[in-house]
Structure 1
Amino acid sequence: MQLRFTTDNADAAVLDVEVKELVIAGWVGRDRAAVLHHIRELEALGVPAPGAVPLFYRVATNQLSQQIRLEVVGEETSGEAEPFVFFHRGEYWVSLISDHTDRHLETFSVALSKQACIKPVAGHAWRLSEVKAHWDRLELRAWIKTNGDWITYQQGALSALLTPMDLLNRYFTDRQVEEGFAMSCGTLSAIGGIRPSSEFGMALHDPLLNRTLEHTYITGSLPVIA
């Protein structure tokens, strides 16, 4: 899948990236006790427990999209803001992605629910090397529109999650990273619980360099026909 990113760098103002391998990292909280507690909560709702923590889901690259308007099947899907790291021309870059997921299908198979929905991606990126040293200070936030008003849906520092460097080291245990690899690096809990919304906004803010990655998208619901 071909993606295009603008950057703040004069030597790479525009990146045309062909993503050849997409991985979604799940269960990436640093507090293992909290992760296990969340697993038990989801099990009570019918969501199968992961086979490992963290767990890496492979997803088709054609599920990536930088479009603003998307379509989903049914009324039980929702977004999750996550850092998005990709390898391009010999270095890692970071952007922003929503792991939009079918919540009904998730009760049968988390892996299939990841595959069922398009993954919206922001159109701007930073060099990972520019934020690596202060990664934990980056702030992730998401909003959903409810009754015409934007309300905060997710909010917190990335210190709550495993770093992308840790995740990459865990994933690449027997091979080297290749051009076009991309990983969605986990998310924060939803404030007030996971729930659907047709409009989703997300941002990753760097307080040290005073800049923000942002993306907003709208989903239209297709009917479920049996």
Structure 2
Amino acid sequence: MLTFDRVSAQGTDRIALAPAALTIAGWAGRDEAALRHHIEELAALGVPPPSSVPVYYRGAAALLTQAPVLEVLGPDSSGEVEPVLVSLADGLWLGVGSDHTDRKAEAAGIALSKQLCGKPLGQGLWRFEEVEAHWDQLLLRAWATQDGVEVLYQEGALAALRHPRDLLARRPGGPGLPPGHVMFCGTLGAIGGIRPAERFRMELHDLVLDRRLHHAYAIAPLPVVA
């Protein structure tokens, strides 16, 4: 069960949700030439190419978590800050989450790697209709802590990602997002390269309405036992 604090022009309330389904939209950048180049780079490292661009990975709804600590197997995982659509009975809401992924398993299969880690999700939500018109101006940021030092890990405007209406129109089983469904909407490149961390902190910043959504979690690696 997830708990959300919803903020809209009508006020603030709290709601609980047992998520019914999780979709993770991958390769969701708008620059298709850059995407193709990145796919070729990853292919050279042994990462299989996606079957489509964008691609929609299905994840177990039970992967969604709001816990302050995320347990992972071994030292080879890392976070990815993403805008997240949450469909409720009264429409779409926007939050911030992390598509935490096992990078070692990613070389064997991206879908597999995404199933191996929980998906942290913040408690704050904004009504999507209130930000839809200025989606491109929303700023996404993440910080990673390594050896006790926090550094900026990701930063950029959502103009770099496909608009959610575009993603929803292409989604298998769409268009739209049924109530109870959660969809991660893509990420930005990592500053200095993808790498593990001890703690991951993220925010979605609405410059137009002057507000922010926050979430943070610590990463606890479990020993890999043969």
Quote the residue 2:103 is aligned against.
103
Quote the residue 1:222 is aligned against.
222
Residue-by-residue CA offset, 1:24-53 (whole Å, 9 max, x unaligned): 000011000000111111112211100100
Q: Please give the residue correspondences for 1:14-163 in structure 2 after superposition, counting only pairs within 5 Å.
A: 14-163=14-163
- 1:135 Cα offset (Å): 0.3
- 1:12 Cα offset (Å): 5.4
- 1:177 Cα offset (Å): 3.4
Distance 1:65 1:174, change over 3 A: closer
One-letter amino acid matched to 2:162: L
Distance 1:126 1:65, change over 3 A: same
- C-alpha separation in 1, matches of 2:171 and 2:7: 29
- 1:109 Cα offset (Å): 0.6
- C-alpha separation in 2, matches of 1:87 and 1:76: 32
Residue-by-residue CA offset, 1:66-119 (whole Å, 9 max, x unaligned): 011121000000000000101101300000110000000000010000000000
- The size of the alignment, in residue pairs, is 225
- 1:18 Cα offset (Å): 2.1
Greater Cα offset, 146-155 or 49-58 = 146-155
Quote the residue 1:5 is aligned against.
4
One-letter amino acid matched to 1:94: L
- C-alpha separation in 1, matches of 2:86 and 2:174: 19
Distance 1:175 1:25, change over 3 A: closer
Instruction: Indicate the RMSD between aligned Cα atoms, in angstroms.
Output: 1.3
SS at match of 1:213: strand
- C-alpha separation in 1, matches of 2:223 and 2:170: 40
SS at match of 2:169: helix
SS at match of 2:57: strand
- C-alpha separation in 2, matches of 1:31 and 1:173: 25
One-letter amino acid matched to 2:147: N
Structure 2, gaps ≥5 residues long: none
Identity %: 48
Structure 1, gaps ≥5 residues long: none
Q: Please give the residue correspondences for 1:199-214 in structure 2 after superposition, counting only pairs within 5 Å.
A: 199-214=199-214
TM-score (norm 2): 0.96
- 1:217 Cα offset (Å): 0.3
SS at match of 2:35: helix
- C-alpha separation in 2, matches of 1:191 and 1:8: 31
One-letter amino acid matched to 1:156: G
- 1:147 Cα offset (Å): 2.5
- C-alpha separation in 1, matches of 2:108 and 2:23: 20
- 1:15 Cα offset (Å): 1.8
One-letter amino acid matched to 1:209: L
Which aligned runs of 4 or more in structure 1 are off by greater than 4 angstroms? 172-176
SS at match of 2:134: helix
TM-score (norm 1): 0.96
Quote the residue 1:192 is aligned against.
192
